[in-house]
Structure 1
Amino acid sequence: MRYGVYNAILHDRSLPEALEVISSVGLTGIEINTGGFLPPVHVPNIDEILTSDTARDDFLGIFEGTGVEIAGLNCNGNPLHPTKAIGDKHSEDVRRSIKLAARLGQTRVVTMSGLPGGEPGSTRPNWIVNAWNSAALDVLDYQFDVAAAFWKETDRLAADLGVKVALELHPQNVVFNPRDIRRLVEMTGATHVGVELDASHLFWQQMDPVAVTADLGELVFHAAAKDVRVNTERAALYGVLDNGFRKLDPSEDRVNLGGDEWANEWPKDSAWDFVALGRGHDADFWSRWLVELNKIDPDMCVNIEHEDTSLGRVEGLTEAAGVLFEAAEKVGLR
């Protein structure tokens, strides 16, 4: 197994500085953001790398002697967004990231399946949470048709370039559980589209990441070590689908998600939170998960994604790495 970090948490510093942090906590890989919801801070010259061997070699030279290697690319976004300005950009970011991966000798690109509107002409994505009525299933059929058309074409590109695309099982996407990814693969005949097993989004949906990993088997291409703590007293009142978010004012610091869409402020009395590895589930749990991943691919990249707002960037990464290493050592995977 290989252990690294998704670099978004280190976007506040240069790539060489980020590599120093990663090496200092004992990790050996960096999953690099290449577009989608976030700008490609650590690889701003993607187009140049795609066309210039010198630019490519210069970029790869940054990693020499650092003890850290590239451990996949990441362009999480909504390539199926019904607003053209967002959907076109994010879908092109996926294609460009696949081409970039091939140029850099990488075989994994992480992204999301995407979420269309509910019908032709829509301008807002429509996530069907519980399809108890017939109209909701009609919407899902339409959305899967849209998704299948995009991913069938994208799978061909990925296969031609020897790159596998790992879809995060993320809510507010067409694909967010094992049933969904199997449906997409069946509809498209995809050979190079599978799953990034991010445990965090499974936890709060009451899914077991160990069971999901075992169930999906070779459809799991990549993994994200990220934890969730369910705040049981609040969850008992609001449920895990609580929408107690706050829209941020333009004068406030906020993250653009494309076009005129922005990330909202997380509920202050949330039913669940992203936390550093170990603060939701202990090392024994993570060791069982690593065993299942290792059965699929002993060379799989498992990259920490740090989004615990109660901890500093390096502080949280250090804590998470310690728990991941403890888990790995328990089962002889480090």
Structure 2
Amino acid sequence: MKIGVFTVLFSDKNFEDMLSHVSSKGIEAIELGTGGFPGDAHCKLDELLGNLDKQLSFKEKITEYGLTISALSCHANPLHPQKEISDAADEVLVKTLRLASELGVPVVNTFSGCPGDHENALYPNWPVAAWPNDFQEILKWQWEQKLIPYWKEKNDLAESLNVKIGLELHGGFSVHTPATLLKLRKACGTAIGANLDPSHMWWQGIDPVEAIKILGREDAIHHFHAKDTILDQENMNRNGLTDMTDYSLMRDRAWYFRTVGFGHDQKTWADIISTLRLYGYDYVVSIEHEDGLMSIDEGFTKAVENLKPIMVKESVGEMWWT
């Protein structure tokens, strides 16, 4: 397994300065944003697509710093009911899948998206209650008319390009739990899997270790984000887990993000890493920093320091003691 980083943290640095900085911290792999919410500071789709000379130079520079690319990421809402928004997200996703194929990058990360509640809607509608029955009708329409047709097409495209799609299980989007990921995967194909981020499991009341088991049994973990979460029980009692308090008002929120090791202890993180290995994930653990109490560099550095001692680098091979 390798420690990686989602390089949008360092969008203020130019490409080579970013590579130099992350490699100096012991990072082995980088996840690059190509557009959407993450931006594209270090990976310009239109400059690289189809340009073999630029791609070669791009990859050589990454290799020069002892790094590999774990994934390309373009988190956005390709199912947004406003066509100009969904079309832009779809275009970036398709281009990112094609560039990943050309670069030999195995995974593209994104969100599932969330549609509206009818064809003329203006905004996404994220149903989170089973009753009144209106919500069930909305959910059925979204999956049958929007999610499954769209992602079946994208699964087939990804398969043709020999690339996997990692959907981040994130609140506000239709795929946000192990169950919704597996539902989409069953309907659309196995190129679709999870970009599993434990921070979003904790605030939903899901144990990340158990989520890894559920998804790992189906070989459905394509990528992994390393980010932590604090649950503030007093605020949770008042606001509930679907807390709409602004992220900047951390004292008042039911939960908020922390860097690795500052929401849950090292034993918990060791269990996460060990369970990933137990269920066949031997790839990159990519640090994502969204800690409102630490600077980017401090939070990133502490995440690396906390992950290094618990990473599993070598498989056991033959069980010599049996």
For 2:172, the equivalent position in structure 1 comes to 172
For 1:149, the equivalent position in structure 2 comes to 149
For 1:235, the equivalent position in structure 2 comes to 236
For 2:277, the equivalent position in structure 1 comes to 294
Report the 3-state secondary structure (helix = DSSP H, G, I; strand = E; otherwise coil) of the residue aligned with 1:51: coil
Q: Number of residue pairs matched?
A: 313
Amino acid at match of 2:33: N
Query: CA 1:77/1:293 → structure 2, altered by over 3 Å: closer, same or farther?
Result: same
322-331 or 299-308: bigger deviation: 322-331
- Note the 1:180-329 alignment, pairs <5 A: 180-188=180-188, 190-217=189-216, 218-245=219-246, 265=248, 269-328=252-311
Q: Does the 8 A contact of 1:116 with 1:125 survive in 2? A: yes
2: CA distance, partners of 1:186 / 1:64: 37
2: CA distance, partners of 1:296 / 1:92: 34
1: CA distance, partners of 2:82 / 2:249: 24
Q: Does the 8 A contact of 2:230 with 2:263 survive in 1? A: yes
1: CA distance, partners of 2:61 / 2:276: 30
Q: Does the 8 A contact of 1:291 with 1:331 survive in 2? A: no
CA-atom RMSD in angstroms: 1.8
For 1:135, the equivalent position in structure 2 comes to 134
Report the 3-state secondary structure (helix = DSSP H, G, I; strand = E; otherwise coil) of the residue aligned with 1:63: helix
Structure 1 residue 3: Cα displacement: 1.1
Q: Does the 8 A contact of 2:2 with 2:313 survive in 1? A: no
- For structure 2, the residue ranges without an aligned partner over 5 or more in a row are 317-322
Cα displacement string for residues 82-141 of structure 1 (whole angstroms, at most 9, x for unaligned residues): 111111111111111111111111110111110000111101000111122211111001
1: CA distance, partners of 2:281 / 2:147: 31
Structure 1 residue 244: Cα displacement: 2.3
Cα displacement string for residues 1-45 of structure 1 (whole angstroms, at most 9, x for unaligned residues): 11100111111111211112211221111100011123211012x
Report the 3-state secondary structure (helix = DSSP H, G, I; strand = E; otherwise coil) of the residue aligned with 2:63: coil
Q: Does the 8 A contact of 1:287 with 1:330 survive in 2? A: no
Report the 3-state secondary structure (helix = DSSP H, G, I; strand = E; otherwise coil) of the residue aligned with 1:115: coil
Provide TM-score, normalisation by structure 2: 0.93
Report the 3-state secondary structure (helix = DSSP H, G, I; strand = E; otherwise coil) of the residue aligned with 1:4: strand
Report the 3-state secondary structure (helix = DSSP H, G, I; strand = E; otherwise coil) of the residue aligned with 2:87: helix
1: CA distance, partners of 2:250 / 2:261: 22
- For structure 1, the residue ranges without an aligned partner over 5 or more in a row are 246-263
2: CA distance, partners of 1:157 / 1:212: 27
Report the 3-state secondary structure (helix = DSSP H, G, I; strand = E; otherwise coil) of the residue aligned with 2:49: helix
1: CA distance, partners of 2:141 / 2:250: 32
Cα displacement string for residues 199-225 of structure 1 (whole angstroms, at most 9, x for unaligned residues): 000000110010011011111111001
Structure 1 residue 329: Cα displacement: 6.1
Q: Does the 8 A contact of 2:8 with 2:39 survive in 1? A: no
1: CA distance, partners of 2:193 / 2:250: 32
For 1:259, the equivalent position in structure 2 comes to none
Structure 1 residue 327: Cα displacement: 2.2
For 1:82, the equivalent position in structure 2 comes to 81
Q: Between the two proteins, what is the percent identity of the paired residues?
A: 35
